[in-house]
Homo-oligomer: A and B are copies of this chain.
Amino acid sequence: MRSKDFEGMVCPVADVMGAIGDRWGALVMRDLLLGLTRYDDLRRSTGVTNATLSDRLKTLERNGLIERRRYQTRPERFEYVPTQRGRELRLLMQAMVQIGDKWNLNGLDGPPIRFLDTQSGHEVKLAFVDAETGELASSLQLRPAPGSGADALMQWRLDRGTRPAE
């Protein structure tokens, strides 16, 4: 399932971008995560051509992010639903929504989409929290550090990135 292009690179950014493929893949994944399942709906929502949509659906399926299910015979019809792995991309979509709102490239007077907690009914947002206590992080200054799975390249990248400018 790893993208051939990124083979040998231990990096979650490479893994996630490789699995989604490109921005058309991201738009299709966005729609599936919003609950669209039908091919025609995906076409209408994304505005992509049939060739592009078919191809990206195959890519997402091959990468284990979505499943194709038959919901009708004679004629056969299929719907598409995110797998468990695909559903984890919600975090990514939410991050993009928050960044897009900050950028506001469309000059809107409010966000195009919001996410509500079904239990409380309140709007939710992504925020940095203390990994142990679950409380909001005390500062907004973060520092990257190697994890136990860092390879030599990641180690080098972090050393190089955090040392003072020459």
Contact = CB atoms under 8 A, between A and B. Distances in A.
Number of copies: 2
Contact-residue bracket for chain A? 35 or more
Most buried by B among A1, A94, A137: A137
A1 to B, nearest CB: 6
A144 B23 contact: no
B118 A15 contact: no
A160 to B, nearest CB: 6
B129 A143 contact: no
Nearest to A164: B35
A93 B161 contact: no
The A interface, classified by DSSP as helix, strand, loop or mixed, is mixed
A13 B36 contact: no
Contact of A126 (B95, B112, B113, B148): B95
Q: Which 3 pairs across A and B sit closest by C-beta, in order of nearness?
A: A12-B100, A110-B148, A108-B149
21 contacts: A1-B105, A11-B27, A12-B100, A13-B97, A13-B100, A17-B27, A35-B162, A45-B153, A91-B126, A92-B99, A106-B149, A113-B146, A113-B147, A114-B144, A116-B145, A118-B142, A119-B141, A123-B130, A124-B137, A126-B127, A126-B128
Interface of A: 1-3, 5-6, 9-19, 22-23, 26-27, 30-31, 34-37, 41, 44-45, 47, 85, 88-103, 105-106, 108-120, 122-134, 136-139, 141-151, 153-154, 156-158, 160-162, 165
